[in-house]
Each structure stands twice: as C-alpha cells, then as structure tokens.
Amino acid sequence: MGSFTIAKFSGKFPYLFAAAHIIVPCPSAGTGYQSATPANVPGAVDSLMSLLAPSFRNLPQYIWVGNRDTTCTYMYQAAYVKLLDALGYRYQWWTFPVGHAYPLGNEFAPMMQWLDNTQRPVVVNPPHVTYALNAEMNQPDVGLNADHAYWISNLSMRDTSLLPPTGQIDAFSHGFGIGDAPVTPLHNETGQVATATGVISYALQTRDWGTAPISPRSNVIDIVARNVNEVTINPSRASVDCNVMLNVQTDGPLLVHFYNCARPPEQH
C-alpha cells in the first residue's frame, strides 16, 4: 500500500511536500476493485483517495498506472484523474500496458527531474488553500492530527456522523496580490521508453498551470466551508493583518479565530 500511503499523507499534510509521486495507486485502502458502490469499496468508502483530492491544490501529482491492473482496477484510477481535471489541478498521468507493476523502476529520469526540489520548491504560504477533512483518516492517537494546512489550522467538523465523515474548507487571501493561475489545455502524447527489461510503450496525459495573474492587494479573505464549525487563520502567513475582512459562505455555524491577534473570534 505504498502508493496509498503517499496519497494519504500528502493529501492530509500537503504543506510538507513539493509534489506527490504515486505508483500504481489503489483508489482506497484496499485491493480487488470490482464495483464502485460504497458497500464494495475495499478498505471502506471513507478511505477513498477521491475524498482527499481537493487538498492537492498546491501539490501536483505524478501518477503511474497499468491499464491491465486488476488489483487496483484501472477504470477507477482513471476516474480519479478525471476528478483532478474537474478540480483544475496539476498532474502527470503515465499509463503503461501492464498490470499491477512498476515497469520503469525507481530511477526513471523524467520522474526524478519532475520531483527535483530545486525546480519545484515546497509551497509554504499559498494565496489559495483548499483542505479536506476526513475523520477516519485523522489519527491523533499516533500524532497524525490532520486538522491544518498552510495558514489555516484547528479545523473541526460540525457533523462526524456522515458517511463518509468529511468536511472541506476553501480559503483565498487577497493579501498576496496574486490570483489563481489559469489551467493550461490538456496535453496527451504517446511513445516508448527504455527500461531495464526492454522497451515499453506509454500514454501520457498532463495538466498544468500558466502564470498566476497579478491582482489588487486587499485585506480580505474569502472562505467557503462545508461541514466545518471552527477554524483558525494566521493573518501574517496569509499576507493580511488582524483587521482582515472575511467573506464567508458556510452551510452552518462557523467560528473563526485569528492567530496572534487581539481580536475576538468571529461567528458566521
């Protein structure tokens, strides 16, 4: 379950990584996909990778799959990539005519170049943060308290009885003077690469971003919350000050705290 581990930890703690390399991923914490219905999801529906996908806004993914994979069925891997497309996120999706295997080994040069941290630094304080909460993937008993990302923290869900038990927050700071980068057109190519065991064909699909536009700076943060009842904002890291104005859309009561500010919490 190495690929699921990478997806889980990078999705729950995206601010720690520059990119995520996910080799032949299972769509959840289990194998043997025969059905997409919740009752038949191996590892339970709350472990679906798709639930964490929104958290990858600032963390591009490099995914290898085999279109003959019957362990982590290809059609559900493809469905995950379609979700990334719908979100407008960055990825490279390599498909090989194999089953559940690593046809290129661990030293594939394009992968190593793509992961090179000198070319792709860790994003520390992005203008736009999207973060998915999942009560079943949160493990505070072993120190994995996944309730924060970048400049938002102390997130909690209003209703943990949902199935799956999830919530989501989207926060955009106007203090950086930078808008969302435009999504570039989908790129597809085919070809062949040499491996230790011979030449293998591939199909590559990629999605990237263009240059983020410059926008007027303002002391404003936009928040859209679903099933979240509490959050703390760090104004300094969000490039605003303690008098920041909040534009909030929420599906229920949301209490907003301000880190290191002499400002009382704000109820929305």
If pLDDT is split at 50, 70 and 90, which confidence band does 30 have? Answer: confident
Give the whole-angstrom CA distance, residue 208 versus residue 9. 22
Give this prediction's pTM. 0.94
Query: Which tokens hold the place of 73?
Result: 């069925």
Q: What CA dihedral angle connects 39, 45, 50 and 51, to 10 degrees?
A: 140
Mean model confidence pLDDT for the chain: 91
> Amino acid letter at 266?
E
Domain 1-123+183-212: which CATH number of 3.40.50.1820, 3.40.190.170, 3.10.100.10, 3.40.50.880: 3.40.50.1820
Q: What is the DSSP string of 109-144?
A: HHHHHHH-TTTSPPP-S-SEEEEEEETTT-BGGGTB
Average pLDDT, stretch 214-221? 97
Residues 6+ apart with CB under 8 A from 145: 138, 139
Strands 91-96 and 198-207: antiparallel
| Mean local confidence (pLDDT), 176-188 | 97
Measured distance CA(236)–CA(250) in Å, rounded: 24
**169 near 158, Cβ under 8 Å?**
no
Q: Which has the higher per-residue pLDDT, 36 or 10?
A: 10
Per domain, the residue ranges of the chain are 1-123+183-212, 125-179+214-268
Nearest 5°: phi and psi at 248?
Answer: -120, 130
Q: Is the pLDDT of residue 107 over 60?
A: no
